[in-house]
Amino acid sequence: MSYQLFLQVFANGLFTGILFGGIAVALAVCNLADRSLHVAIGSVIALVAYFWLAIIRGELPVVLGFVLLVGIALAGNLICLAIYRWLSRRGVNAEGIVVASFGLLIAGNSALELIYGTELESMRAPWLQGNVKLGVVRFYYGDLLMSVVVLSMMAGLWAALRFGGLSLQLRSVFHDSREAAIAGVNIPMIQVLAYCFSAVLVIIIALAIGSRSSVHPHMGFFPLLIGIAALVTGGLGSVRSAFLSGVAMGIIWDFVGIYFGTVWQFASVFGILAVVLLTAPEGLFSLKFRWRRKATKHSV
Amino acid sequence: MITYVVTVFSLMLITALLCISFDILAGDLKLMSLATPAIAGVGAYAAAISDVSYGLPLAAGLLAAIVASCIIGFVLAAISVRVSDVYFLLVSMAMGLILVTIFDQARSITNGPSGIAGVSPFEVFGLTVPQSGLLIGISLVVAVGLLVTWIRRSYIGRRWRALGDDKLAATNVGIDPKRELVKCVVLSSAVAGVAGFLHAHVVGIVDPSPFGLQAAILILALAIVGGSGRVWGSIAGASVGIFIPEFLRFVPMENLAAHQSVIREVIFGILLVLFLGFRPNGLLGRKTITQKSVS
């Protein structure tokens, strides 16, 4: 492999990784708030992508289109949250809620298939497909836009968690929601905030996936699986580790695609997930690991 | 018409076996596996290869399917002994995706996406081909159903149920969770292998498409709707899952027949959520020990 190709693949992998990291963060934030695995986000991604498509093709006025886009993303995520909360009140455990989320995913994707058909729609726009060359590496506008938005949102989230009271509240809800409620944490508000943040991420993720491949009802399914793999590999309970492992997965994904062929990309990512679960079921950078390391350090 | 009805019933029996395989884990150990169709795929490929490449008799094909599936089941159990709940679901999902990639890529063995065609159909007692398939399908479902029910009522099944209901308490009375997990996954895989064997001979072609993640989610939905912990629940789930879309063929509405599989997925996605909320035991599921004591 030539040096130029290596750099180009690495740059592409980095952008793919930021996309996967974005999905993993969208899942991680929801997981922190209610311990669920919000798999149905795959359907919300596809639905939002169809609205992006309508805006790009000029079928919707830009302002109205954006209002609808944001509304649909928020509504999609909040309806899912309402269903999870209802199931939780009826005594369904976390695993049951994951199963319900899978149900919402297949129902949502199939409903989109009934509405829009199975044809692949191309999301072509000059401000997405154009590129700029820096040295030997070519960067696409769509990738740059997605990276800037995702990284800005990550920085915003980090600031909110670091300097606001949100971090403590989220962590307390994640570790023991009952005790958090007793301590006065407004759990429904925390959950709504988390799902809204996730919805905003979904908007940019839908645009990135649509511009990289095509828009179709099942477009959110496979990136979602990588996002889940990244979330679990990083370790549930940490947004930062979910993002980092998403970036690593993206780089591995693109290199495996070049070296071994695209068909082995999924197997490689899920092989890594299986190995991580086998050796460190808590995930590579999980809270438990950090605590254990800290505890060891203190005891020494 | 009779051929159509017999074929639909045969497909229902294959789905019922898959639901039983899923439910062995979900009903007793409360572990959800998304690798069930992929493991059935291993059985289907083993049966197809033994028939097409080596011309072995049906019994040998059935044995090959069960042994191959059990080996894969053992590997799944070995890598998942340290995980539980949602993590088991994810490990099984990873295993299923890797297996389907192997079906797709190991062209020298599986013939890639084209699959292995020309698997000989069942022909017994001078019956026609689809009727023989139905007869063997019923026999296999009855045999598997009786075996699973017997195991569930034996001390092995009681250990599994104890682990599923309260793992800590079960471990404290001396039940080894790792050993029981391996036994349960291997039994579940053996049943999936039988489903694969039936699929290979009824459909006549084995390719990777029916063993993917979508199929796994659908089986999960059918098993939950049917009810967990009982063989009858799995059969009920498979019946509803196969007969509802076939019924839609005869509803005089434009484009309905063309979209029957999509409509089935919408219906089952919604049913899955509703059943989890209103009737977690499914149509014919077994109540847990806690539910029994409360009632």
pLDDT (tens digit, 9 = 90+) per residue, B134-162? 888 899 999 999 999 999 999 998 998 89
**Contact status, residue A132 vs residue A141, Cβ threshold 8 Å:** yes
Token pair listed for B262: 């999509």
Listed as ranges, residues in chain A with pLDDT below 70 are 1, 126-127, 286-300
Q: Helical H runs in B81-120?
A: 86-105, 107-110
- Give A-chain residues touching B82 at CB under 8 angstroms: 277-278, 281
The CA dihedral of B99, B101, B102, B106, to the nearest 10 degrees, is 160
Spatial separation of the C-alpha atoms in residues B62 and B79, rounded to whole Å: 26
- Give B-chain residues touching A94 at CB under 8 angstroms: 85-86
**Contact status, residue A240 vs residue A37, Cβ threshold 8 Å:** no
Spatial separation of the C-alpha atoms in residues A279 and A256, rounded to whole Å: 22
Choose from B29, B81, B273, B275 for mutation: most chain A CBs within 10 A.
B273
Best mean pLDDT range from A275-289, B80-94, B99-113: B99-113
**Contact status, residue A271 vs residue A281, Cβ threshold 8 Å:** no
Q: Residue B237: which H helix or E strand, with range?
A: helix B231-248
Q: pTM of the predicted model, to two decimals?
A: 0.83
Residue B258 pLDDT greater than 70, yes or no: no
Spatial separation of the C-alpha atoms in residues B226 and A231, rounded to whole Å: 32
- Give B-chain residues touching A99 at CB under 8 angstroms: 32, 220, 224, 272, 276
Give the per-residue pLDDT at B286. 66
Rounded to the nearest 10 degrees, the angle between the axes of helix B129-153 and helix B155-165 is 70
Burial (Cβ within 10 Å: 0-12, 13-18, ≥19) of residue A297: exposed
Give the per-residue pLDDT at A31. 87
Spatial separation of the C-alpha atoms in residues A235 and A161, rounded to whole Å: 18
Query: Under DSSP, is residue B71 helix (H, G, I), strand (E, B) or coil?
Result: helix
Q: Residue B240: which H helix or E strand, with range?
A: helix B231-248
**Contact status, residue A72 vs residue A230, Cβ threshold 8 Å:** no
> What average pLDDT score do residues B187-201 get?
94
Q: What is the pLDDT of residues A210-263, one digit of tens each?
A: 888 888 888 888 888 889 889 888 887 788 888 899 999 999 999 998 888 887
Beta-bridge partner residues of A137: A134
Cβ count within 10 A of residue A58: 9
Q: B52 to chain A, minimum CA–CA distance in Å?
A: 27
State whether B273 and A83 contact (CB < 8 Å): yes
Phi first, then psi: what are they for A276, rounded to 5°? -65, -45
Q: Does B98 touch chain A (CB under 8 A)?
A: yes
Using CB atoms, which residue from B98, B266, B268 is nearest to A271?
B98
Q: Does B165 touch chain A (CB under 8 A)?
A: no
Which 43-72 residues of chain B touch chain A by CB within 8 A? none
Residue B294 pLDDT greater than 50, yes or no: no
State whether A107 and B217 contact (CB < 8 Å): no
pLDDT > 90: percent of chain B: 27
**Contact status, residue B231 vs residue B17, Cβ threshold 8 Å:** no
Query: Under DSSP, is residue B248 helix (H, G, I), strand (E, B) or coil?
Result: helix
Give the per-residue pLDDT at B253. 65
**Contact status, residue A239 vs residue A161, Cβ threshold 8 Å:** yes
> What average pLDDT score do residues B100-105 get?
86
Q: Give the CA angle between residues A237, A243, A246 to the nearest 5°.
A: 115
Q: Residue A231: which H helix or E strand, with range?
A: helix A221-234
Spatial separation of the C-alpha atoms in residues B269 and B150, rounded to whole Å: 32
Determine the number of helices (DSSP H) and then strands (DSSP E) in chain B. 13, 2
